Amino acid sequence: MGNTRDEFWRRLIAGESGIAPITAFDASDFDARIAGEVKEFNPEQLLGRKEARRMDRFTQFAVVAAREAIEDAKLPVDAEFKQRVGGVIGTGIGGIITFWLNSDKANENGTWSKVTPFFIPMLMANAAPAHISMVYGYQGPFFAAASACASANDAICTAYNTIVHGDAIAMITGGSEATVSPLAIGGFCSMRALSTRNDDPARASRPFDRERDGFVLGEGAGILVLEEYEHARSRGASIYCELLGYGQSSDAYDLVAPDPDGNGVRLAFARAFASAGIEPRDVDYINAHGTSTPVGDPAESKAIEKSFGEHAFEIGVSSTKSMHGHALGAAGGIEGVATALAVAHDTMPPTTNYEFPDPECRLDYVPNVARRAPVRVALSNSFGFGGHNSVIVFGKVR
């Protein structure tokens, strides 16, 4: 959908699709042969050849996205400030591309001596936050969050708490994922989780639509800079919105299937309302998890109905995964950027490919066309395998 924030937002609001046939490998033998790949990304040009070769693709994404966020935030560069900047980056799987490529090398040559000495440092989930810390010299707490598709949202929640508790003045946070590989596609195909609309990629991801047949794998990174409000205001920072609070919960139900009654999600909503000091009626927009799966979309819709009552039908609810696919552990970061910009610009991104209403999904899904409307309070939902639920609350600066 674009390698900069502005390009991403422009295409999102235009309802364009970033989903296309897979180019990273020959996918002709797979049931699902499409993905939301990052295009025209040259890591050696962006990071330098030496550094790029020491990073898995998910780390490259995170470092490049963090650079744009940090430059936009114009964070101070003095040593004392850098000691008080930390970061939490979410990833669901980490360096799976490094694992795939090095396994292939070892199998082809019949020896593990061909495995790169950087294999473990490239593979590990904390590689992304570690590299961001090293590139910028930040010495606050830096670590990774891994809770499947809720990883980035959980990272943002943790970053928020780190600032609230006084352990940092600013946090680099969000998520990054790069899983477009035979291992990941093969695994999800075996689960029958992916859409097989290979002949019509742009229309394959269909959240809340009756004809949905599974999610489309995406990749990328979305990184936010969180900063203590008074400090940000005192230095004249550009503030897009305020992170008001969050809610987290677990379904305690199944390793991969959501609770069909949405009990865990409803707990996350209730905790988010309490944390942010808001009422359900205050919410104008929800960036839904909305993966385009037969079971997940109705469960989320029902949880929204039960949590918001009649107001549920007055809220704009959209899934931007209809355009960029499901980026797993990066989803909450990418969608967090979209939600923050929705608040900043009073514009709700659309749910594209919404053609056939599903009687089990009864909400206003901002169908196909972006909507200009006041967005004073917005939620960003992320739910992960294992029953992890994470809801972030964004609001206008008060």
Summarised one tens digit per residue, pLDDT across range 351-371 is: 999 999 999 999 999 999 999
289 is catalytic: yes
* C-alpha to C-alpha distance for 258 and 297, rounded to whole angstroms: 10
pLDDT digits (tens, 9 = 90+) for 248-277: 999 999 999 999 989 999 999 999 999 999
**In this predicted structure, what is the pLDDT of residue 106?**
76
Q: Among the options 157, 189, 289, 388, which is catalytic?
A: 289
- In this predicted structure, what is the pLDDT of residue 298? 97
pLDDT tens, residue by residue, 138-153: 999 999 999 999 999 9
Q: Give the tokens for residue 19.
A: 């989903």
* pLDDT of amino acid 130: 98
| Same domain for 260 and 194 | no
| pLDDT at residue 108, rounded to an integer | 74
CATH number at residue 184: 3.40.47.10
- Range 130-135 contact pairs with CB under 8 angstroms and sequence separation of 24 or more: 131/55, 131/59, 131/62, 131/63, 132/62, 132/63, 132/66, 132/87, 132/89, 132/172, 133/87, 135/63, 135/66, 135/67
Q: Clarify whether residues 216 and 124 are in a common domain.
A: yes
Catalytic residue list contains 361: no
pLDDT band of 391, cuts 50, 70, 90: very high
One domain, residues 12 and 120:
yes
The pLDDT-based confidence of 284 (bands split at 50, 70, 90) is: very high
Give the pTM.
0.97
Indicate whether 349 and 262 sit together in one domain. Answer: yes
Do 246 and 230 share a structural domain?
no
Domain end (from 234, 261, 276)? 234
Q: What is the mean pLDDT of residues 4-17?
A: 98
- The reply to whether 149 belongs to the active site is yes
Q: In this model, does residue 103 exceed pLDDT 90? A: no
CB 358 within 8 A of CB 372: no
Domains contained in the chain, number: 2
Q: How far apart are CA 41 and CA 84, in angstroms?
A: 31
Residue 149 in contact with residue 384, Cβ under 8 Å? yes
211 and 186 co-located in one domain: yes
* pLDDT value at 398 more than 90: no
pLDDT of residue 345: 98
Taking Cα atoms as reference points, which of 307, 255, 261, 259 lies closest to residue 280?
Answer: 307
CB 173 within 8 A of CB 223: yes
Q: How confident is the model at residue 112 (pLDDT cuts 50, 70, 90)?
A: confident
Residue 182 identity (one-letter amino acid) = P
Percent of the chain exceeding pLDDT 90 equals 96
179, 94: one domain: yes
How would you classify the pairing of strands 142-145 and 170-177? unpaired
Average pLDDT estimate for 106-117: 79
* Model confidence at 300: pLDDT above 90: yes
Q: What is the mean pLDDT of residues 324-349?
A: 98
222 and 275 part of one domain: no
Nearest of 109, 117, 172 to residue 140 by alpha carbon: 172
Q: Are residues 121 and 180 in the same domain?
A: yes
Q: Which of 178, 218, 214 is nearest to 194 (CA)?
A: 214
Give yes or no: residues 89 and 190 share one domain: yes
Mean pLDDT of the chain: 97
Q: Please determine, for residue 394, whether its predicted confidence score (pLDDT) is greater than 80.
A: yes
Confidence of residue 111 (pLDDT cuts 50, 70, 90): confident
Q: Which of 234, 263, 291 is the last residue of a domain?
A: 234
Q: Which of 234, 262, 293 is the last residue of a domain?
A: 234
Residues 169, 215, single domain; the answer is yes
Catalytic residue among 149, 157, 241, 361: 149
SS (H, E, C) the chain: CCCCHHHHHHHHHHCCCCCEECCCCCCCCCCCCEEECCCCCCHHHHHCHHHHCCCCHHHHHHHHHHHHHHHHHCCCCCHHHHCCEEEEEECCCCCHHHHHHHHHHHHHHCCHHHCCCCHHHHHCCCHHHHHHHHHHCCCCCEEEECECECHHHHHHHHHHHHHHCCCCCEEEEEEEECCCCHHHHHHHHHCCCECCCCCCHHHCCCCCECCCCCECEECEEEEEEEECHHHHHHCCCCCCCEEEEEEEEECCCCCCCCCCCCHHHHHHHHHHHHHHCCCHHHCCEEECCCCCCCCHHHHHHHHHHHHHHHHHHHCEEECCHHHHCECHHHHHHHHHHHHHHHHHHCEECCECCCCCECCCCCCECCECCCEECCCCEEEEEEEECCCEEEEEEEECCC
Q: Reply yes or no on whether the pLDDT at 187 is more than 90.
A: yes
In sequence order, the 6+-apart residues with CB closer than 8 A to the CB of 243 are: 156, 160, 226, 392, 393, 394
> Active site residue: 157, 326, 361, 388, which one?
326
Structural domain boundaries, residue 51: 5-234
pLDDT digits (tens, 9 = 90+) for 222-233: 999 999 999 999
Whether residues 207 and 262 share a domain: the answer is: no
